[in-house]
Chain A
Amino acid sequence: MSDKNRATDRVPLPPKDADVITTACDYCIVACGYKVYRWPVGKEGGPRADENALGLDYPVELEKGGWLTPNMHNVVSHEGKPHNVIVAPDQDATVVNVNGNHSIRGGCIAQKCYNPETPTRDRLKHPMIRIDGELREVSWDTALDVFAEVSKYVIDKYGVHSWAQKMFSYHYFENTYALTKLALVGIRTPAFAWHDNPSVTSSTPGFRDVGIDNFGPSYEDYSLAETLVISGTDPFETKTVLFNHWIMKGVSGHRAKIIMINPRKTAGCTFAEETGGLHLWITPGTDTVLHLALARIIIENGWEDSDWIKKYTSNKWEIESGFGQGTRNTPWQWRTTWGKFEAKDYAGFKEWILSIDESKLDFAARTCGLDADDIHRAAELMARPRKNGNRPRTMLVLEKGNYWSNNYTNSASYASLGLLCGAGNRPGQMIGRMGGHQRGGVKAGRYPLERSPEKFAGRRRKTLDLDRWVENGNVRFAYVIGTTWTAGMTASGALHETFLDLTRRNPNQVTSSRKSSIIRTLKKRVDSGGTVVVNQDIYLRNPIGAEIADIVLPAAGWGEEDLVRANGERRLRVYSKFYDPPGDARPDWWIAGQIGQRMGFADFEWKESNDVFEEAARHTRGSRKDYYPLVWKAKKDGVKGHELLRSYGTTGIQGPVRWEDGELLGTKRLHDSTLKLPATGPQGPTVHNKKLNGFNTQSGKANFIKSPWWLFADYYEYIRPKDGELWVINGRVNEIWQSGFDDVERRPYITRRWPENFIELHPDDAERLGIESGDYVVAESDRVAVQKSGFVARDTEDALFSKLVENGHIEMTSASVRAVAVVMPVPKPGVAFMYFLDPKAAANSLVPRVCDPIANNYRFKLASGKLRKIGESEYKESLEKMTFKSRDIGQTV
């Protein structure tokens, strides 16, 4: 039958005896709690409360939750038989998504489930090997034996450095643990990187040095703040329920003011303005200068929180003597031995701020493209004491628009600015990352830094930039798990070409289905300097799977296995299995276990995901996700760790989990100066990391860090638009999750909203360029820098962009990407914006592949290019697909 006969004006209600299973949304960091109602096809519940499993009378009340929509329904296979499922936000939730609040992404997550009658029908179901240029089904044994044999050959002959693993960091503890056990414990390769960085690095190294954990705040803190500063993201778009519930609660409850720092004016920015806050429509990449100016205004007016600073920030003695494990071994020290960042104490920080020209208000207004009065007003809202002497409760949070445009100094200057306001360690006064994906990473072993060939000046090693390592011809085997790699990293087009050279364009291609022949051919490939690529995912992704990979392994994921992870307030929950994975698809931990066994490594024989969960527990001890006490308690009670955690339902428990006076306790916030810990010390299996109630530094006090603009200024000068270019920045939008594998590609409701990637531009720019909404536009650049060499810095300045150019490490490449123009006053004039991760139109193609010199992170959010109209799309006239209405519409406009 065809789609048009589908009922869209009714939804089957779960009968009273439907199974009720708890889970959480698979998508954004907030991870709203969901319930799955499952019952065999062939019956339905009724609209009276005593006739359905929700116990609600339909129609349900307005704004109370409990409404089920057609997109929340699906038919799945459970134990081989067709079952209806409703996957609905938990209307009983008292945490995270209180009363069943939800995003467009999570609200439609039932459509994620594999159903051969829907666009999910092309889920990967069987292992495949590329034979005669086509991916052909093979058995798990064949695929895994080829994987193991070729891997062993590569490692024996070329060393562990030539065996690379690029993987998701978030797809549940069990999977990340098993996969890192393979790469970092079994093989011990330094050629390892997560999906979102070229190297293993902190996302916010400046926070790390100040002593701030990324995910210290609880969601309640967002509702308690009186001034909430949000930099580099609009959570309305990307962390929906955190905005919808917690942030809006503070605004409606005690008239909290929101300061949005964002080059785009989206709905959350309009809301901030309409409720007495501010939107600082900042020029991309200039955040450090704004932070310095705000700090200067606060200091010059004496608005800093002096008592708090005295009590909770390091003095000179604490900074210099407090690093008990040896000054050379802490990240803070190796960064600051350059002598450029270390502020000694507050007095030193103040002196530095007042001594530099970049902190002056007129410089900031000019550089950041902001009104000086707005900057001043922001400083007042953040720090100016009221007439009664009370200070505003100020909280500062950021996300990728901030730290992925200028990684080190943006994050360091932002955290230091927070310290001036007395933020960081108390209710409603915290500093944190808002987050992107959920927190599902548990490493089974440490990164083998001593094996990394990349070095800072001096002897200190740096985690390896894996993309540059590939580009430099050093990778012979690449295991790619749950990431597009090329579209997800920068200069995507150039990286794609490099992979094609190393794989498809290599003369050694498999032409026989015999295992021995396949192995022989792939060994010849690596001996000729080529690369063997294995891609493991739930769909065949292009290009990494469809075009590049030699072996494709089908993974089972959300809903198809019992798995655990944490959200942005460290809340741990079981994401329960509720239906059968398609075909022969297997969970990632199982695949890693099979590979580990076939490569001869010990202790890879897990029987079920709970085995991995329990084994991984001790690797979380002392971390923000510490759940060791939970597993300890489960063992004591004779139940599985998963089962004990599942008993906490959608509420879960916030890490670090502690055992105190005979019960398990969650931890509301980190660095919590109000937290009372037992005077007698930790009990049972509990670990008291000092960041529970102190800062994440040796002294437990926060460090002021200097953030010199010159460290970035040469790169900024290169990347800023010139000669008719615009900024071409990128980011998320509300309706799409990541590369769109579930939604824009396979959910008709969302496909109609965004049938293709788009490029937003301001009406002023559109008029000048003769571009209208619905036009096809090409954004292009012939100056996309790619760093192809240069792993060892001799002098401290060797890693600066200007020096890399001077020393011949940079090659300029060209790139172009097509998108549908959307003209609206959302991006600042001079700025264009694209969705960041459409594999068919990768915005990252225009982004230079050059890392921050301190942290080996890309500046993903900065690119420039010229825009040119090349035609008109069907959407220009269509009344069915895509809308060009503005994303900034407010109550009063």
Chain B
Amino acid sequence: MSDVIQKPEVDEHEARLETDPGQSPCRISRRRFLEGAGAITVTLLVTSPWGGATRAVAATRTPYPRKRIAGLDELVTNKPIPFRYPDDNATYSNHLLIKLGEKAGGGVGKDGDVVAFSTLCTHMGGILASSYKSDSKVMGPCPTHLSTFDLTRHGMIVSGHATQSLVQVVLETDGNDIYATGLQGLVYGRSANS
């Protein structure tokens, strides 16, 4: 499988936008997502924007594992559940699974309101783990420099300094089970998510 990275404009929501309109919000296409971001080994084809030849650049990417996070019936609205993904790294892999009680971009469950986000601020890595605001469904303000992120809209910056949205965990459900299947955006500190 090949991938091309000549387009440096960053559009981390594009995969999310690939929602099939005929399906429920919880069915954000995992296949689409993996097409974009994951494969055992991908070759990055870099085409010269100025007419040069396309060249192949070897790079390695590890696919995101499918991991069960919780059961839908365990969730209480506005009570975040912490979990780690895609690995068990104590610093970089912390996320919160939250039933917002309000339909959200990328949300799963019958109301499309179950989402999960990294707890590392995408500005400078401030820890957001205890900053969820149940009234506004916002994560933040970051204790370090006060950035806030809208969890109903894919972690979009509300006010602050981050160069990308809060990293969202791609979720899917199978019956009562909620699975993490990928990450949208680069986790703070890393040069690649896994």
Contact = CB atoms under 8 A, between A and B. Distances in A.
Interface of A: 1-13, 41-44, 47, 58-65, 67-75, 77, 80-82, 100-104, 107-108, 110-111, 115-119, 236-237, 240, 244, 248, 266-268, 271, 734-735, 747-749, 752-753, 879-883, 885-887, 889-891, 893
B177 to A, nearest CB: 24
Contact of A879 (B7, B153, B190, B192): B153
B141 A11 contact: no
Contact of B190 (A58, A73, A111): A58
A72 B162 CA distance: 11
B9 A103 contact: no
Interface string B113-127: 000000010111111
Given A1-B6, A880-B153, A10 B146 contact: no
B159 A734 contact: yes
Contact of B124 (A58, A65, A72, A753): A65
> Which A-B residue pairs are the 9 nearest by beta carbons?
A59-B189, A879-B105, A62-B125, A4-B14, A107-B163, A10-B192, A8-B12, A883-B150, A118-B9
Contact of A70 (B92, B123, B138, B164): B164
A890 B126 CA distance: 15
A115 B92 CA distance: 32
- The SS class assigned to the A binding surface is loop
B14 A6 contact: yes
Contacts of A103: 161
A69 B164 contact: yes
Interface in B141-194: 141, 143-146, 148, 150, 152-154, 156-165, 183-193
Contact of A80 (B16, B50, B150, B160): B50
Q: Which has the most chain B C-beta neighbours within 10 Å: A6, A13, A60, A748?
A: A6
Contacts of B183: 9
A572 B154 CA distance: 40
23 contacts: A1-B6, A3-B9, A4-B11, A5-B3, A5-B36, A9-B37, A12-B5, A41-B57, A62-B91, A67-B125, A69-B10, A107-B163, A115-B9, A117-B6, A236-B146, A244-B146, A734-B159, A748-B10, A749-B11, A880-B17, A885-B138, A890-B141, A893-B135
A65 to B, nearest CB: 7
A41 B46 contact: yes
B21 interface: no
A128 to B, nearest CB: 22
Contacts of A749: 10-12, 163-165
B161 A63 contact: no
Interface of B: 3-18, 32, 35-37, 44, 46, 48-50, 52, 55, 57, 59, 61, 91-92, 103-106, 120, 122-127, 131, 133, 135-138, 140-141, 143-146, 148, 150, 152-154, 156-165, 183-193
Contacts of B148: 267, 885, 889
A219 B13 CA distance: 37
Given A62-B189, A752-B156, A6 B91 contact: no
A757 to B, nearest CB: 17
Contacts of B103: 879
B10 A70 contact: yes
B141 A116 contact: no
B158 A889 contact: yes
Nearest to A85: B8
A588 to B, nearest CB: 25
Given A9-B186, A885-B138, A77 B8 contact: no
Nearest to B48: A82
A269 to B, nearest CB: 11
Contacts of B159: 236-237, 266-267, 734, 887, 889
Contact of A111 (B9, B15, B165): B9
Nearest to B104: A879
Contacts of A11: 186, 191-192
Nearest to A6: B7
Given A1-B6, A4-B36, A10-B61, A67 B189 contact: yes
Given A885-B136, A887-B158, A1 B4 contact: yes
A7 B125 contact: no
Contacts of B52: 81-82
A116 B49 contact: yes
Contacts of A889: 133, 136, 138, 140-141, 148, 158-159
Nearest to A75: B8
Nearest to B35: A5
Given A102-B161, A103-B161, A891-B141, A6 B136 contact: no
Nearest to B6: A117
A9 B189 contact: no
A268 B148 CA distance: 12
Nearest to A13: B191
A115 B8 contact: yes
Contacts of B44: 7
Contacts of B143: 891
Contact of B191 (A58, A879, A881): A58
A61 B92 CA distance: 10
Contact of B49 (A59, A82, A735, A752): A82
A115 B104 contact: no
A27 to B, nearest CB: 12
A511 B50 CA distance: 34
A3 B153 CA distance: 19
A110 B8 contact: yes
Contact of A6 (B10, B18, B55, B92): B10
Q: Which has the most chain A C-beta neighbours within 10 Å: B14, B92, B153, B183?
A: B153
A389 B126 CA distance: 40
A117 B158 contact: no
A117 B49 contact: yes
A197 B39 CA distance: 55
Contacts of B14: 2-4, 6
A559 to B, nearest CB: 14
Given A82-B49, A104-B157, A42 B55 contact: yes
Q: Which has the most chain B C-beta neighbours within 10 Å: A12, A110, A881?
A: A12
A615 B103 CA distance: 62
A233 to B, nearest CB: 15
Contacts of A7: 3, 5, 36-37, 44
B166 to A, nearest CB: 12
B50 to A, nearest CB: 6
A882 B120 CA distance: 22
B194 to A, nearest CB: 8
A70 B186 contact: yes
A88 to B, nearest CB: 10
A484 B141 CA distance: 35
A110 B157 CA distance: 19
Contact of A119 (B9, B46, B189): B9
Contact of B92 (A42, A59, A887): A59
A823 B104 CA distance: 19
A879 B148 CA distance: 17
A9 B4 contact: no
Nearest to B103: A879
A56 to B, nearest CB: 10
B189 A61 contact: yes
Nearest to B5: A7
Nearest to A56: B191
A68 B191 contact: yes
Contact of A1 (B7, B16, B189): B7
Contact of A118 (B7, B92, B105, B138): B7
Contacts of A68: 191
Nearest to B122: A69
B10 A111 contact: yes
B49 A75 contact: yes
Nearest to B193: A9
Contacts of B145: 101, 244, 248
A508 B186 CA distance: 56
B125 A63 contact: yes
B157 to A, nearest CB: 6
Contacts of B17: 4, 880
A58 B163 contact: no
